[in-house]
């Protein structure tokens, strides 16, 4: 959720998801959603880009 709010704009969200290895269609679907940050945190595209192990390693 914190990364999602930090990225702010849909274009930035899509670009960062694609950098983290999410396919283009999934990144666009996640990036332009009108869901809030907590609800969209459970989507498969975001969980693929930011798995729990990554978040634990970041602190």
pLDDT in tens, 1-59: 888 899 999 999 999 999 999 999 999 999 999 888 899 888 888 989 988 888 889 88
As a whole number of angstroms, the distance between CA 21 and CA 50 comes to 10
As a whole number of angstroms, the distance between CA 35 and CA 19 comes to 22
pTM: 0.83
Q: For 25, phi and psi rounded to 5 degrees?
A: -65, -40
As a whole number of angstroms, the distance between CA 21 and CA 54 comes to 13
């Amino acid at each position: 959720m914190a990364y999602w709010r930090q990225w702010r704009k849909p274009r930035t969200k899509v670009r960062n998801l694609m950098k983290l290895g999410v396919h283009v269609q999934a990144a666009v679907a996640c990036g332009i959603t009108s869901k809030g940050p907590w609800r969209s945190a459970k989507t498969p595209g975001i969980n693929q880009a930011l798995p729990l192990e990554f978040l634990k390693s970041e602190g």
